[in-house]
Structure 1
């Protein structure tokens, strides 16, 4: 029997893990699993570049569950750090599924709720700790977490961890855990800050890159609508959700919490199907319940800020709609990665106004791909842009132009400069005409001279 036919059994794990894989319907390893699992088993530090939806969680969990073997002692031996509460919960569920026959104990810790219950879970005795850097350090600082037994450390979604400003906590963590350990770092993109982190965190790492960094999923078709203003974006969103039956399970991404709330209320009045909204001001339980209802198919539309762009693993999302163009360009990759998962096809639509075209160009450069433009449907109402919104966009375009050209002084100065040029040209023309007429004796010598006639 060849390696391909052996599936996960070619990795020489154990019966408990094979049974868990069978339960989950895992038959053939994904590319990241195929490359990463043997390297982790061999003890290498690993730098994995892989998008969400590629199976990277199992790529590090399976070998680490094998290495941890069985429950022992009270203190964690595996530490997995992730950027968000949602991803903490998701990884915790994966540990439950894949480790169900091993007897290994785990706890999941994250902010947004009081630490008391989480501390109690840690103090019961655990083998694996999953959490956000801030909450892990909080529990450690209270004297409730011992780190001397940690032999394996994972940073998952390292780019997002860096985006969220967790570098100080990561550095603190590196000082309190044993130097002799195996380190695994996974990231969907590879900005300079992640490269610098890898140099501090990893020792002689093996790099595994499944797709070129900062690419968007191959199974996702991406398009952009050029839309003049916020109101027309709302009209377009309403039209698409009501007219296109293929938009069956949709995430609508927006930049601001107040916009998320407003769009949610608008869609509740205008569109068929259950709708939920999640953002940082929503309570932890409300967010978890909304995500679970969306996963189960009880919610058609999820309106979300980028708090949900990572760690939201729903296999049947038909469409992602970027109501706004993200200004953190890697976030576009992660938003689009919410669809086209598990070999399903997906569609990502982006609404782009005049001021957002600058950011769209930067995204196209990042993903090394031009996003084709769709014409606005003839049936939608093109609203007039309010003065305040037009002014705000003009100011934003000025800022963008200054970034590209530090000598640019702004639209007002450009208009003034152009007006001055026109005025100067007009004055010169008038002067030439007057001089000509003065020479012919047709006009007074005082006209056009700037002198007052006595």
Structure 2
């Protein structure tokens, strides 16, 4: 297997210990680009036993810190690093809000090598003196533009001031707004700039994705969606809604029509969100209905279809949504259903991204062109045939109890 461009460009620079500013879209393999060098910098007992490091280099305090904007990304990066660090038994801990403090505090007491965390909970635990940041040798700021959008940059700066000044810092961002550049200037030392975004399009994720846009009637959308989900060759699918209420309603309707579906939106508790995500990753459900905020940082292999059930707010949201498919070299299909009322909003997105759908064609669940363009078998109805209901479903995935008493 050959490395992705961001890995190929980042690894030699990061391994040399230099500071790095990496510009790359999500889904281009950057986690291992910074993860492998970061794991190399951490000293674990296996290194002492092999004579690669002196015993005094060992510590139970974290030696590397990765700051991420969302809980979902936190879990994903943690899992990637646990896999990559398995051979040397590197201890990686995810620290994020929405779940009890105690298990995180207990894990810190036992000893941790790498922390992956969201800004709020990191500050919380550092402020309570439960998290010791004085041994950090490597800092990674992942998806820095996302942190800016979510208002986390002041928190990130406070975290940086708690770290040893002598360290390696790596910052990754899909775009480089002024605030992110000035953060890099203030806290990085002669960083090497690496740009792995392709100049000819909106990044590798979009290049691999076939886009379809249809003008659809709100009353007909559930029926359309059900038929689209029965297209030939569909793997996992993500359905995006603008509101929490619509997301909950559509997940419900799909279940009644026989689909193994789950939902991820802001009205759900963290336990229910994680249950749906795990079920999706494990293939127990194959349709995940989400709102935009909840879907930030979700990166699941095998997503073949992204369906915008409601038109996104703006072009940035559109790119973020369709970037969930066509990842890491795979092919993807993105389908957008635009309400009559949403046509002006869609036209702005279409113009901003220079797409070819200024006037989406009027389409219904029975339109022959829908079947033809999306490979939907003839005779498909809005209910999944019983013979095709082979997945275990959401209820087969345990809900983790996150309700331990909070400190």
Q: One fold, TM greater than 0.5?
A: yes
User: Which residue is equivalent to 2:117?
Assistant: 131
Question: Aligned in 2, Cα 1:66/1:223: closer, same or farther, shift over 3 Å?
Answer: same
Secondary structure at the counterpart of residue 260 of structure 1: helix
Q: Is the 8 A contact 1:76 1:150 kept in 2?
A: yes
Question: Aligned in 2, Cα 1:362/1:94: closer, same or farther, shift over 3 Å?
Answer: same
Q: 1:328: Cα distance to partner?
A: 5.0
- Give the structure with higher Rg (CA): 1
User: Which residue is equivalent to 1:273?
Assistant: 259
> Does 1:82 find its partner at 2:68?
yes
Match of residue 86, structure 2, among 80, 88, 100: 100
User: Which residue is equivalent to 1:440?
Assistant: none
Q: 1:283: Cα distance to partner?
A: 2.3
User: Which residue is equivalent to 1:261?
Assistant: 248
User: Which residue is equivalent to 1:48?
Assistant: 22
Query: Which whole-Å CA distance do the structure 1 matches of 2:301 and 2:3 have between them?
Result: 17
Q: Is the 8 A contact 2:41 2:137 kept in 1?
A: no
> Does 1:234 find its partner at 2:222?
yes
Q: Is the 8 A contact 1:309 1:334 kept in 2?
A: no
> Does 1:316 find its partner at 2:302?
yes
> Does 1:60 find its partner at 2:65?
no
Question: Of the two structures, which has the highest relative contact order with CA contacts closer than 8 Å and spacing of 6 or more?
Answer: 2
Secondary structure at the counterpart of residue 217 of structure 1: helix
Q: What per-residue deviation string (whole Å, max 9, x for no partner) do you get for residues 390-436 of structure 1?
A: xxxxxxxxxxxxxxxxxxxxxxxxxxxxxxxxxxxxxxxxxxxxxxx
Q: 1:233: Cα distance to partner?
A: 3.4
Query: Which whole-Å CA distance do the structure 1 matches of 2:62 and 2:308 have between them?
Result: 40
Match of residue 286, structure 1, among 261, 272, 293: 272
Q: Is the 8 A contact 1:75 1:146 kept in 2?
A: yes
User: Which residue is equivalent to 1:222?
Assistant: 211
> Does 1:109 find its partner at 2:95?
yes
Q: 1:237: Cα distance to partner?
A: 2.1
More helix by share: 1
Alignment of 1:138-217 (within 5 A): 138-212=124-198, 214-215=202-203, 216-217=205-206
Q: 1:275: Cα distance to partner?
A: 0.8
Alignment size in residue pairs:
352
Query: Which whole-Å CA distance do the structure 1 matches of 2:170 and 2:111 have between them?
Result: 24
Q: 1:29: Cα distance to partner?
A: 1.3
Q: What per-residue deviation string (whole Å, max 9, x for no partner) do you get for residues 112-134 of structure 1?
A: 01111101111211121111010
TM-score, normalised to structure 1, is 0.72
Query: Which whole-Å CA distance do the structure 2 matches of 1:200 and 1:222 have between them?
Result: 40
Alignment of 1:296-445 (within 5 A): 296-364=282-350, 367-371=353-357, 375-380=361-366
Gaps of 5+ in 1: 1-26, 382-454
Q: 1:235: Cα distance to partner?
A: 4.0
User: Which residue is equivalent to 2:7?
Assistant: 33
Query: Which whole-Å CA distance do the structure 2 matches of 1:363 and 1:193 have between them?
Result: 24
TM-score, normalised to structure 2, is 0.80
Q: 1:156: Cα distance to partner?
A: 0.9
Query: Which whole-Å CA distance do the structure 2 matches of 1:110 and 1:286 have between them?
Result: 16
Task: Supply the RMSD in Å over aligned alpha carbons.
Answer: 2.3
Q: Is the 8 A contact 2:214 2:363 kept in 1?
A: no
User: Which residue is equivalent to 2:105?
Assistant: 119
Secondary structure at the counterpart of residue 318 of structure 1: strand
Q: Is the 8 A contact 1:224 1:372 kept in 2?
A: no
Q: 1:252: Cα distance to partner?
A: 0.3
Q: 1:358: Cα distance to partner?
A: 4.4
Q: Is the 8 A contact 1:69 1:102 kept in 2?
A: no
Gaps of 5+ in 2: 46-57, 368-407
